[in-house]
Amino acid sequence: MSSSEQTVDNMAAGSVHKVIFEHQGVFIQLSSDEEAIEQDLLISGSLQVIDKDSSSVMGCTQGPGDRSHQLLETQQSYETEWDMVNAVSFKKRPCTNGEGSLNHSHERSRWAFTFSVSDLRSITVKEEGWAFLICKLKDSSTPLPVLHFHQGGSREFLDSLRRFALLTECPDDGTCLLVSTPNKALSQSFENLLDDNSFGLVHKFRKDPYVTTLGGFSKVTNYIFDALRGTEEQHQRPPEEVADLLGEVIPGLEINQQEEPGFEVITRIDLGARPQVMRREPLSAEDWTKHQDPEGRMVNVSHLKQVIFKGGLCHAVRKEAWKFLLGCFPWDSTLEERKALQRTKTDEYFRMKLQWKSVSEEQERRNSRLRDYRSLIEKDVNRTDRTNRFYEGIDNPSLVLLHDILMTYCMFDFDLGYVQGMSDLLSPILYVMENEVDAFWCFVSFMDQMHQNFEEQMQGMKTQLIQLSTLLRLLDLAFWNYLEAQDSGYLYFCFRWLLIRFKRELSFHDVLRLWEVMWTGLPCHNFHLLVCCAILDSEKQKIMEENYGFSEILKHINELSMKLDIEEILQKAEGICLQIRSCKDLPHSVSAILGFGTEVSGSNPTDCESAAAPRATQQQDACSNRHLRETSSHNSCKVAFRL
């Protein structure tokens, strides 16, 4: 395989063409009616992905031969046939007799073709002893030959395309990758949202999603509003352009548009009346003790969780109960077993703490990642919940514990390390536990649930935003359509809610109540998404009656912080859950999100390895498009097949 990235200078045109990918020995299968006599004939050629800095061009080498001939012919082709602007066509390459052109390929060059990556709709990956790709264009009237990779190279080819397009797995077909290309002009406009010319918002978002969300999205002005809505003459940007912009900000985000093929279409469904539910008083210390047997085992756990879900816990119980809710202690463990486990966990914690404590200054100078983690932690600790009495003041010992726990977590999970926002998740836990070791292991358990939110690819955030949009569309299609009309159907104004589980939206004590309720796992999966729906349901009337636009919606949502009634929200969210559960014709996608039913659809475990390989690759594909953000010209890439 010859996979390379090289630069070809076109001196006449004064531009630079970059060969992102090149692979010899790719075969196409002839199956057109025009060439029926050559049915099923495989023709070998060379495949290239080429980027040009100023316009849409493409090029490809001629195959094995003298390198000077190949380069000369490539340069000539850039100036003539391959200077196509966003066009897809099959081309018969002109064959000249001078300048070293390779005449022996003339008879077969009619099978050469080119297409722009921006014109791709989907790529289906198949394997039959070798990989072959079926590329489909947005213009269905222009079919492309199947590309056969007998000598490997299909994965490298897909990787090269990810620098220019988002490849996301189609939910209904594990072998199909949907292709979308971002809009460069819009992404640049969004980057200018912050008054910081050194770093664009996309770069900041990937490196530091928490601060960018709390900072960038809370500073939305008429500038970005105008960038999204377009000029007065345009009135509103096309939905696909807005999708491009949001794809820039949250890589891989694909909201289930009704017109998008491959997604389940959710139409208006009669959910019936929403049941009225009542909240109860918090579980008392006395009632907690009643759920323990003489050896300390928790009994009637399902009823206990139900009581906690309906009313939460009194503060005196939290220190012990949270360890069970978070999975630090098994529900069926005895008191003696828990004491033994506590001793083991204490030893393990201090061994990890000693690892970073014993690093000398000389060692740390040669460990940039540890230095970066420490710097971020020190910065965040000094601004986390400083108005709370537990953390206020100078030289507060609680701040030292917060710092030490986060540093030790870096030793526990060095791959993730520390990402800004994690201190917000630890702060309430340390407040409740008042113990360094207990707080650490509870934090570890909570991070097991939240881990994907903080990973570089943010797969957890992408999934939750898609699921939230699906639920809101089911619950209130009119409101969802209104948000769509205001370029807000992607619900990214809920990003902060999801990222740190409403930590900045509620008062400190309301956060404690909400988290312990959610940790029961009741009454359904992803209950926090229904909490989002409950908040939006309460605000929809004001948003729609006041005819809020893009910027007003963001401003309004941000200003809800510290004004929300947690008991009212939980009551409404539970009612929404019961309302959805009672629906007889519930869409499968909604049932899967909320965990209704026991049916689990998935691949057959007996599938052969060759079939499983492309699926595994595609699952990774759906969240491995970060190279796209580093490409300078999103719409200047084309793919060429030459013989």
DSSP class per residue in 588-620: HHHHHHHT-SS------TT--HHHHHHHHHHHH
pLDDT digits (tens, 9 = 90+) for 1-56: 444 445 444 434 444 567 888 888 888 876 544 444 344 567 888 888 887 653 33
Q: Give how far Cα 601 sits from Cα of 354, 394, 473, 580, 591, Å.
A: 46, 55, 23, 21, 12
Cβ 608 vs Cβ 80: under 8 Å: no
What pLDDT does 11 receive?
38
Segment (H or E) for 89? strand 89-90
Better pLDDT: 257 or 450: 450
Q: Cα(377)–Cα(392) distance, rounded to whole angstroms?
A: 17
Token pair in block for residue 209: 């999603």
pTM score: 0.59
SS3 367: coil
What pLDDT does 469 receive?
94
Q: 3-state secondary structure string, 126-154?
A: EECCCEEEEEEECCCCCCCCCEEECCCCH
Helices (H) and strands (E) in the chain, counts: 25, 11
What pLDDT does 52 receive?
61
Highest mean pLDDT among 44-48, 413-417, 624-628: 413-417
Residue 601 neighbours by CB under 8 Å, 6+ apart? 592
Better pLDDT: 345 or 394: 345
Q: What is the dihedral of CA 91, 93, 94, 97, to 10 degrees?
A: -170
The answer regarding whether domain 254-313+457-597 maps to CATH 1.10.472.80 reads yes
Q: Cα(458)–Cα(462) distance, rounded to whole angstroms?
A: 6
Q: If you average pLDDT over residues 243-251, what whole number do you get?
A: 49
Highest mean pLDDT among 39-43, 83-87, 456-460: 456-460
- pLDDT of 531 above 60: yes
Better pLDDT: 127 or 609: 127
What pLDDT does 164 receive?
78
pLDDT digits (tens, 9 = 90+) for 539-552: 999 999 999 998 89
pLDDT digits (tens, 9 = 90+) for 126-138: 887 788 899 888 8
Better pLDDT: 490 or 511: 511
What integer best gives the mean pLDDT of the chain?
Answer: 75
At residue 569 the predicted structure's pLDDT band, cuts being 50, 70 and 90, is very high
Q: Where are the domains of the chain?
A: 17-31+40-63+110-181, 184-235, 254-313+457-597, 316-452
Better pLDDT: 606 or 371: 371
- pLDDT of 199 above 50: no
Q: Cα(420)–Cα(423) distance, rounded to whole angstroms?
A: 7
* 509 backbone dihedrals φ, ψ, rounded to 5°: -70, -30
Tell me which residue of 3, 14, 53, 19 sits closest to 631, measured CA to CA.
53
What pLDDT does 518 receive?
98
Which region among 236-250, 349-363, 611-625 has the lowest average model confidence (pLDDT)?
611-625
Which region among 87-101, 327-341, 396-410 has the lowest average model confidence (pLDDT)?
87-101
Which ranges constitute the DSSP H helices of 8-104?
67-79
Which region among 78-82, 104-108, 536-540 has the lowest average model confidence (pLDDT)?
78-82
How many residues are present in the chain? 643
What pLDDT does 181 receive?
65
Q: CATH classification of 17-31+40-63+110-181, choosing from 1.10.8.60, 3.60.20.10, 2.30.29.230, 3.40.50.720?
A: 2.30.29.230
Cβ 165 vs Cβ 181: under 8 Å: yes
Which region among 98-107, 109-118, 244-253, 265-274 has the lowest average model confidence (pLDDT)?
98-107
Is the preceding omega at residue 330 within 30 degrees of 0, hence cis?
Answer: no
The answer regarding whether domain 316-452 maps to CATH 3.40.50.450 reads no
What pLDDT does 182 receive?
54
What pLDDT does 97 receive?
39
What pLDDT does 630 receive?
39
Q: How many other C-beta atoms lie within 10 A of the C-beta of residue 36?
A: 9
Which region among 46-50, 69-73, 330-334, 495-499 has the lowest average model confidence (pLDDT)?
69-73
Better pLDDT: 255 or 392: 392
- pLDDT of 617 above 70: no
What pLDDT does 263 receive?
44
Q: Cα(41)–Cα(34) distance, rounded to whole angstroms?
A: 13
What pLDDT does 86 receive?
28
